[in-house]
Every structure is written in structure tokens, then in C-alpha cells.
A and B are shown apart, each in its own frame.
Chain A
Amino acid sequence: MSTVLAAGGPLLAKVDRLRVMVVDDHEETRWVIRTILVAFGVQRICEATGYAEVLKKLHAFQPDLMLVDYQMPEHDGLELTRRLRRNRGDPFIPIVLMTSEATPEVLALARDAGANEFLAKPITPVSLRTRLNAVIVRPRNYISSRRYFGPDRRRRSVRLGGLDRRSPEAGPPPSEDPVERALSEQRHEQSAEALLHDLERGTVA
């Protein structure tokens, strides 16, 4: 089990209580998420590459919430979510499903599988914090029936489809130095203009 301690100490004493399990087969994505979580002050992070590893680590780690990738080999994030929701021993762990395919169909599937929240990739600190806070601040009831077991979405169907106001593709904010920012933007625009010019001349690929 990989438990990470924040190098600079937690920002808030209480964030360090959070126990997060990150499930993604892609090592670099786990690294990015871990970096952001550690910066948030989360100290207990457990990583898993798939369903089999989740089963091995779940009860020992006792996560407060899980970040689960949608696209994984063998059991994908939906299947993993469904299986966890069916397991009456651990039915209430909030699950945030992550995907780069934020289509209405995927959102509906995520909801039906029992995911609490949905995080569109590329992941940014803003988008991740927004989704975590949604789970932390607004707990919801669960529905249990023969046909379904998961968070009760009846009162929040509108919000489900809404992604963060700030585009998750927006990336880190620009530099705070206005001169540096202006020069940087100018350089990016010149390079972009040159690329466009080459595309129009057909000299790319």
C-alpha cells in the first residue's frame, strides 16, 4: 500500500484526515492526482491499478472516497463502481468517476452505475477540488432496490450534467507577472500562427 505524506505538512489539520483511494491503471495519471491531493493537504493516499488491487487494499485502507478511472483494462470504472455498490459491506464509499469522454451517455452510465460525482479529464486542481468538495459538502441519500444500488440522484439531475464552470482543459492559470504573461501569450500566438500557416500550406505531415 502506498501512503504518501505531504512534504510541507498539511494546509489544514482536517484535510489530512481524508483517506483517498486512486484507481487508475495509468501510472502518470496517478502521479498527477497524487501531486494535487498532496498539495491539498491529503496525507493518506492509496493507489490501485484495477479491481483486483482494489479488493486487496480496500478493507485495510478504509478510504473515505475513491477516485476511479473510467477506462481501464479488464474491469472498467463502471464495472468496478457497480461491483462496489452491490457489495453490501461497502456500499457508501463516495465514488468520483474520472474520464476524458464527458459525453451525456457516459454521464448517464456513470450515474446508473452508482457514481457520486463525475470528473472530466484533463484533471486540474480546480476541477478536482470542485468534485471533492461536492462529495464532502453535500452528502446524499442512497437508493437500494433489486434494480439499483447507488446515490439518490432524484434531487440533483440538473447538476449531474454540469461540468465545472472553468473548463477542465484550461490548465494552470497564467503567470501573475503581467509583462511575462503578455510576452508568453505573444510567443504562443506567434507559434500558433506559424503552425496554422504550415497547415494551410500543407507542409505538416
Chain B
Amino acid sequence: MSVSSIRRPKVIHRISARGFPYEEISLENILGAKLGGPIPDACLHRAERALSALKDQYMEWVYRDLDLLEETLEGGLDDADPARRTDIVLQLRRLSHDMRGQGGTFGYPLVSQVAGALNEILKMPHLSADRLVRLIRLHADVIKRILDNRIEGEGGKAGPKIIERLNTLTEEVLFQEEA
């Protein structure tokens, strides 16, 4: 029996402090009863082994995303055509979003952090195409270096410093005077 098959929950009619009527619906713990308890600890090791086996696959995905990112940039990010720029930025956001979402799953939290930072940059609407391209290439290059060198985990003492330095370089590009 699935939860969605519950048809007769206990319903209590109530009035909120602000006078709005509402129903409070009490459910039995159908799902708990069905499974007989929580998912046990023992499952974790099995899941972690299964994910480890996917690590090579992850590398293919993330390098493919980096290649796509470069191809998208080569397509030309230009301020002259706002509609085209929006399309390209959306594609780039999607790619950075995917890289952020997967890195930590496969033991590369630094990739997630750098891709997350890139995703935030790509949300800045008034950044010139020139600066945007420089920042995208900077972040993509750092991600590639992390992957090429298999810098797993937090990257030791240098990990936080890499993020800090990347932020500083980003700020320099963001706040430098227009030529």
C-alpha cells in the first residue's frame, strides 16, 4: 500500500488565531509501518561503494561539461545582442549548476565550490561580456586543474586559500576600471 492510497485520514476543523478556518489532517505513520523502520546504517557503505564505482563516469561528465562550456564561450558572448547573450548565459549557468551539484557527491567539494561561485557570477546581469568571459575562463581553468590533479576532499590547507585567492581575483576583475 502506498501513502497516496490513504483515503480516510483523521480531519479536525480548526480556526487560526487570525480567524482563518483550516483543517488539520492527521496521518498514520503508514510509511514507517510499511518499511518497519528507518533505512539502516549498513546501507551507507554499499551506497558509497556504488558511487565510487561511478567516479570514472563522473570524470567523463565533468570534462564533457567543461568542453561544452568552452564551446559555448567560443560561440561568442557579445553585449551587442542581448537576447543571444541571455541564451548563452543560461546555458553556462546550467553547466555550472550541474558541476556544482555533482562535485561533492564524488569527493570533489572544491569543484562544487568553484562551480557555485561561477554560477553566482553568471547571475550578475550588468557584467560586460569581456569581464564575464575572463571570469568564466578563470573558474573553468581552476576546476580543470582540480580535476587534472585529482584534488579530492577539501584540498588540505591550500583548499580554503584557493577559494580565497579565486575570490580576490574575481573582485579584481569585477571592480577594475573600464579601459
Binding site for B on A (CB under 8 A): 8, 11-12, 14-15, 17-19, 26, 28-29, 31-32, 35-36, 38-41, 62-65, 71, 90, 92-94, 100, 121-126, 128-129, 132-133, 135-137, 139-148, 152, 167-174, 184-185, 187-189, 191-196, 198-200, 204-205
Ordered by A's residue number, 22 sampled pairs between the chains whose C-beta atoms are within 8 Å are A32-B105, A39-B43, A39-B46, A39-B47, A62-B5, A65-B3, A92-B3, A100-B101, A122-B102, A122-B105, A135-B31, A136-B39, A144-B24, A144-B25, A172-B51, A188-B155, A189-B158, A191-B155, A195-B145, A196-B162, A200-B165, A204-B142
B34:A171 contact, CB within 8 angstroms: no
A199 to B160, CA, bound (A): 13
Collect the chain B residues with CB atoms within 8 Å of residue A189's CB.
Answer: 155-158
Collect the chain B residues with CB atoms within 8 Å of residue A139's CB.
Answer: 27-32
B22:A144 contact, CB within 8 angstroms: yes
- B78 sits at the interface (CB 8 A): no
Residues 18-47 (chain B) with a chain A CB within 8 angstroms: 20-32, 34-40, 42-44, 46-47
Q: Which 5 A-B pairs have the closest CB atoms?
A: A122-B104, A189-B156, A191-B149, A169-B104, A145-B22
With A90-B4, A200-B165 known as contacts, the answer to whether A143 contacts B35 (CB < 8 A) is no
Output the least CB separation between B63 and chain A (Å). Answer: 13
Collect the chain A residues with CB atoms within 8 Å of residue B174's CB.
Answer: none
Output the least CB separation between B98 and chain A (Å). Answer: 6
A93 to B2, CA, bound (A): 9
